[in-house]
Amino acid sequence: MKKQLLPLLVLATTLVGLVGCSGKNDNPSSEPDKPSDSTPTEPVKPAANAKTAEKVAYASTRTYEELVELSREEMTGATDTFKVLGLTSMLKKAVEQLIEKYDFLTADNIYVNNGYKDYTLLTALEPAANTYVADFALTQDERSIADYQETGILHNFVPSDYAELGLSEDDISPLKGIHFNKIFWTNTNFETVTGKKLYNIWQVAGTEADADHLAKVSFQSPVTEQINMSFLLSCYADENQARIETAYKDYYGKDWASDKYASAGEQWVTEFVKNISRVHPSDGTAMKETQLKDDWKEGYVYFGAYSKMKDAAGKYYAVPGQDTDPILKDLVIAEGDNANKVNAMATVKWDWEINGFNGYFYTMDSQIVNNAKFPYTACLFARYLLEPEFYSKTAYSSSTPNADGTKGNQYGYYYPGKMDAYGTEGAKVVTNSFDWTKTKWKEVSLVEDFDYLATVKFAKITSIQAMFANK
Amino acid sequence: MIEAIKQKEALIKSLSSQKDIFNKIRKYSALGLVVSLILAFIFMFVLRPLGTGLFILTLVIVVAVGVLSLLDYIWKCRIKGAEDSHRRLIYDFEHPDHPLVDEKVNIVRKALNSVKNFFSKPSNIIVFVFAIVLSIMVLFPLGKLFLNTFQVGTRDETRLINEEWGTSLSMGDWTLLNWPMLLFPKSKDYASWSLSFFWKPLGNSVAMSLLACTIAVVFGGAFAWLITRSNIPCKKFISTVFIFPYIMPSWSLAMFWENFFKNSASAQSPGVGMLQSMTRWMTASGVGICAPEWLIYGLIPTAICLGMHYAPFAYILIGGILRNMDANLEEAATILKASKFKILRRITLPIVAPAMISTILLVFSSSLSTFTVPDKLRFSSISITLRSLLSTAGFKRMGYVVAVILMIFSILILTLNNWFTKSRRNFTTVSGKSGQITKTDLKKAKWPIAVFAIILVIFTSIVPLLSFVLESLEENSGDLSTLTLKYWTSSQQFDSFIASKNISTQGVFHNSAIWGAFGRSIIVAVFVALIAGTCGILIGYAVSKNRRGKLANFVSSVAFLPYLIPALSFGAVYYSLIKIPAFSFLDISTTTKQASAVGICIIIGMVKFLPFASRTGTNAMLQVSGEIEEAAVITGCPWHKRMTRILFPIQKSSFISGYLLPFISCMREYTLFILVTSEVTLITNVLQYFTKNGLGQLANAINLLIVVFVIGANFLVNKLTGASIDKGIGG
């Protein structure tokens, strides 16, 4: 009896503890954190032990100077560490600059972890519903952000001077941190190999029977790459149907109509997924290595992160037959460390004028993490990421120089504030002289739409998952 | 008085017959449970409504078995109470002058005495302590994972359930709907998703695991027989090299497979692999041999890699039995003029059957939840679904459902394994070791078989290492004309962007990121091995001394449970733990110190790899006769001396093998630690980081370092102590 009771006792104790510890999240999101114009009275500063949402809402009503003071107040004498989590190396530089700018911050009390991959960052943030995880997160995938905001894991800060920073209403909910894009691209040998140009999105859908159909398409699985899932979902959005239908008409010479599909976007996604011939594991590898070393004579169309061009910029390969290849022979480097090699960036053809869209324009958003120890400093940091001075210091790189050899903005990195074309008089932030402007990229891309993604039907997600599972 | 005694006897009889009925129903229910589950699984692919019904039936039977077990327990207590009372009545009847009233009065003292008596034995203290510790460290995370499947945690999870089921749940509500949402959704859209995204991958995983089992058993079993029961030459070489694939991380085998077979004709695999590169001269066009797509990616290669990885496991288990089996049985059959085939069929196979079944079940269980190999070789398995669900907003709880289903599979398999291995234990206990083992003479086939075996082990064990060496030396993968040592010797930064994050991308010999992480990995592995190994010995001791005790069985089972929890889920639970302020000193993001990450990795590793150590410890302790310790007790030898001077020296090599297994597993682990480490904490972090960032040469060099280090450590320990990984696995 005694022997039987002991394990039961231990088990019961554990279960009691378990039930006791697995309570409901009692800290759900408060009202939207956007500053309200209709507030008649001066907001009262929340108490020190107030919820993060309240503090973030209060910070959103403060001027820049007041925000600095709030941050100074909470950081002075603090023994804890201000923690920043994210997915890009820019954060480390941003923190270094922040420390330079504000005397109340030191390298000892700030920690940055930017080594997460998208899903691990989201997993890492999850406990914030109930406990402290970090203060600030620069995270992507607005569908997840919408979910986390509603759940109370993340809070949106809006600087009161957002308009002066060059942000529009579209850029503040959620607050943009930095824009990126994924695009359709090929190598520069594509036209020679296929005898075709890439000019219409329906070329990568449809069938072999279609004129100019392109059957070699490489795409990263949306089952593991959430941005690709958002891209495919965006093709279903009402706001994008017109451009997809127009492209259809231009390609097939007739208006789009279907009994089988609810929208042109749905048809495009279904046919596109069917047409994908390769599921590549990494956009970076595809852009810097595969397109040149392995697929030079294959005529592939890739869909991947344009920012990976920075990886290609630093990569040089010796390609078999490079000395006789009509294109490569002029690109072979004559001397130096990389003699007899070709720079991978020189063989990326990214500027196709594609009817329909060139790719997907998405964002890493600045979010304040629930239970933050230093919410005001997190808000200050979020605002700092929007300053032109910060952006030009961190995003400009000597490995992606402008035509005149000066440090150029990296490809695929776009400032959320006012960003002009290279050479614009008086502009604080400009695109690379070889790149298209942010405005043009937004025009030629499907743009990540927070409101649409936040409410998208799950049946669409599961249908895409199923399509890939069946491939 | 006599009347009362008679009444008690009647009561006992009646209770016993009722208990027998419960037991019978329970046994049939358990059988029905297995049948129903198998049929449900089959019908999910053929006739879904019937499959769904059968699954519901399965759940009903599970509940019924639970209720019957409870009734059985209650009846057992009632019978015991009636028997005690019956005994007391008889005693009082026989000794009217000395009734047993005093016993009732001193019940408190009696209870205290029994507690004191319980804790006077070191084995009981160990069992008690581990029961509490393991309940907190294993049952708590497990329970949390299970409870998570009955809750909607986020807005999207709530929206998804409400969208499909028309409910009006709010965030944080408890619900059963996560289960049917994944398994049997109501609407057509979700049903097709469930079929393609859950049932098919599950079917794929089952097929993959079955194939991997077959390969492992055939490959491992054949080698075990050749080494132990034949006169094949070069035994030492073959047996040493054969276990390399088990020591290597399974994903490194997948990496090798891709490196070897990828070719320019494959749509999925850009690049030229070793095979194509080496065979250019053989083809007129100079293209070389291009393996078909199905041999590079998909079911076949995934199953082969897993089969190769687990074949040493089969080799060790089956080889252990073949080596220890009583040769007199076969000799007797030979004297009776039985044919070789008959001996194999009627004697050898039945004897090795439990080991084969064990191998099949354990390989099946491990393969089913493996992620890295199917991911690398692009095969849609259930682990890919799990990872996707865990990383997609709105689907996380269904990810937990998949994790629990995988655990249920593993628990069923483990139960089956325990049931089958009972016969194995009986066999070895009765026969003991035989000094004389008749070796089959392979005659003229001896050398051809040996050459074939050597080629095979070279391909699975040496060529992967060679491929890592080559890949680390080639500027262009597969192009031998671009060999260079710079990825080992150069101090130049190979990626300026990564270098700007203060992570060295220099050649291996100059690379501070690699060596720092390598050092930390060794620290983690050593501590995990020491702690888990020691706990394993203690658990083994306690369990062997309380073989029939419920608490000991509980400890033994709970210690094995971490084996069944998917690594990412397990890591996630401990990640939540370090977010509690009291444990923030273990959180690298709080302390910014790698020591914190190392600390939490040691804790997670210790629990996750405890099953290896506890099984080894238990097996080793069960082999030691209790009389040896009893003799020491009689001479007044204290417990710690008995452990260190008697028990440990006797089973030294087995115990040290129990330390080796967690060490090796820890050195190659990645997924388990991913949430609590930075990109440079452990060597596997650096490896993955470099792979993702296109530093393939450095990644291959790291792979080589890990494998060579682990093989070297195994070899060194073997030479110094006689222990080896095979003893750890085989017990």
In a domain, B75, yes or no: yes
Are B637 and B711 in a shared domain?
yes
Domains of chain A, by residue range, sit at: 28-178+364-394
Element counts in chain A: helices (H) and strands (E):
17, 15
Pick B675's closest partner by Cβ from A124, A128, A315: A124
Are B599 and B679 in a shared domain?
yes
Pick A127's closest partner by Cβ from B139, B196, B579: B579
Are B437 and B581 in a shared domain?
no
Are B537 and B450 in a shared domain?
no
CA distances from B580 to A86, A129, B136, B672 (A): 21, 12, 15, 19
Quote the radius of gyration of chain A (alpha carbons, Å): 25
What letter does residue B646 receive in the DSSP assignment? I
Interchain CB contacts (distance < 8 Å): A and B: 229
Q: How far is CA B490 from the centre of its chain?
A: 40
Are B324 and B254 in a shared domain?
yes
In a domain, B120, yes or no: no
Pick B193's closest partner by Cβ from A111, A337, A463: A463
State residue B497's pLDDT score. 64
Cβ of A111 within 8 Å of Cβ of B579? The answer is no
Cβ of B694 within 8 Å of Cβ of A4? The answer is no
pLDDT range class, residue A228, cuts 50, 70, 90: very high
Q: Which residue of B has its CA nearest to A23?
A: B172
**A-chain residues near B496 (CB < 8 A):** 314, 399
Q: Are B565 and B407 in contact (CB under 8 A)?
A: yes
Q: Which CATH number belongs to the domain containing residue B348 in this structure?
A: 1.10.3720.10
Q: Residue A88 contacts by C-beta under 8 Å, 6 or more apart in sequence? A: A114, A138, A178, A364
Using the Cβ of B388 and the Cβ atoms of chain A, whether some distance falls under 8 Å is answered with yes
Pick B197's closest partner by Cβ from A17, A284, A462: A462
Percentage above 90 pLDDT, chain A: 58
Answer yes or no: is pLDDT of B729 > 50: no
Cβ of B154 within 8 Å of Cβ of A461? The answer is no
State residue A5's pLDDT score. 44
In a domain, B595, yes or no: yes
Percentage above 90 pLDDT, chain B: 17
Give the range with max mean pLDDT: A19-28, A267-276, A398-407, B465-474.
A267-276
**B-chain residues near A11 (CB < 8 A):** 135, 139, 554
Query: How far is the alpha carbon of B161 from chain A, nearest alpha carbon, in Å?
Result: 10
Answer yes or no: is pLDDT of B731 > 60: no
**A-chain residues near B549 (CB < 8 A):** 3
What letter does residue A108 receive in the DSSP assignment? G
In a domain, B512, yes or no: no
Cβ of A133 within 8 Å of Cβ of B482? The answer is no
| Domain count within chain B | 3
In a domain, B369, yes or no: yes
CA distances from B206 to A267, B41, B131, B210, B300 (A): 33, 11, 34, 6, 13
Of A90-94, B372-376, B393-397, B564-568, which range is least confident?
A: B564-568
Here the tokens at position B432 are 């003991």
Answer yes or no: is pLDDT of A1 > 70: no
Q: B222-225 contacts: CB < 8 A, separation 24 or more? A: B223/B311, B223/B315, B223/B319, B223/B453, B223/B457, B224/B314, B224/B315, B224/B316, B224/B318, B224/B319, B224/B322, B225/B318, B225/B322
Query: How far is the alpha carbon of B373 from chain A, nearest alpha carbon, in Å?
Result: 13
Q: Which of B74, B105, B136 is the last residue of a domain?
A: B105
In a domain, B239, yes or no: yes
Are B84 and B193 in a shared domain?
no
Are B287 and B199 in a shared domain?
yes
SS (H, E, C) A297-365: CCCCEEEEEHHHHHHHHCCEECCCCCCCCCCHHHCCCCCCCCCCCEEHHHHEECCCCCECCCEEEEEEE
Q: Are B261 and B291 in contact (CB under 8 A)?
A: yes
pLDDT range class, residue A291, cuts 50, 70, 90: very high
Q: Are B169 and B162 in contact (CB under 8 A)?
A: yes
Cβ of B679 within 8 Å of Cβ of A127? The answer is no
Using the Cβ of B205 and the Cβ atoms of chain A, whether some distance falls under 8 Å is answered with no
d(CA A109, CA A82): 6
Give the range with max mean pLDDT: B78-87, B112-121, B249-258.
B249-258
Are B529 and B468 in a shared domain?
no
State residue B432's pLDDT score. 42
State residue A39's pLDDT score. 52
B515-574 residues touching A, CB cutoff 8 A: 549-551, 553-554, 572
Pick A81's closest partner by Cβ from B163, B496, B592: B592
Cβ of A119 within 8 Å of Cβ of B390? The answer is yes
State residue B317's pLDDT score. 78
CATH numeric code, A28-178+364-394? 3.40.190.10
Interface test with A, best of B69, B155, B672 (most A CBs within 10 A): B155
Residue listed under structure tokens 């952006």: A391
State residue A161's pLDDT score. 94
Answer yes or no: is pLDDT of B430 > 70: no
State residue A81's pLDDT score. 85
d(CA A353, CA A10): 68
In a domain, B172, yes or no: no
Query: How far is the alpha carbon of A142 from chain B, nearest alpha carbon, in Å?
Result: 10
User: How high is the mean pLDDT of chain B?
Assistant: 82
| Mean pLDDT, rounded, for B563-580 | 73
pLDDT range class, residue B422, cuts 50, 70, 90: low
Are B192 and B68 in a shared domain?
no
Q: Which domain holds residue B619?
A: 518-730
State pLDDT tens for residues B17-29: 887 887 778 777 7
Give the range with max mean pLDDT: B232-246, B385-399, B716-730.
B232-246
Q: Residue B592 contacts by C-beta under 8 Å, 6 or more apart in sequence? A: A81, A111
State pLDDT tens for residues B627-646: 888 888 888 888 888 888 88
Cβ of A469 within 8 Å of Cβ of B201? The answer is yes
Query: How far is the alpha carbon of A405 from chain B, nearest alpha carbon, in Å?
Result: 18
Of A160-164, A327-331, A344-348, B546-550, which range is least confident?
A: B546-550
In a domain, B316, yes or no: yes
| Mean pLDDT, rounded, for B500-510 | 86
Cβ of B554 within 8 Å of Cβ of A10? The answer is yes
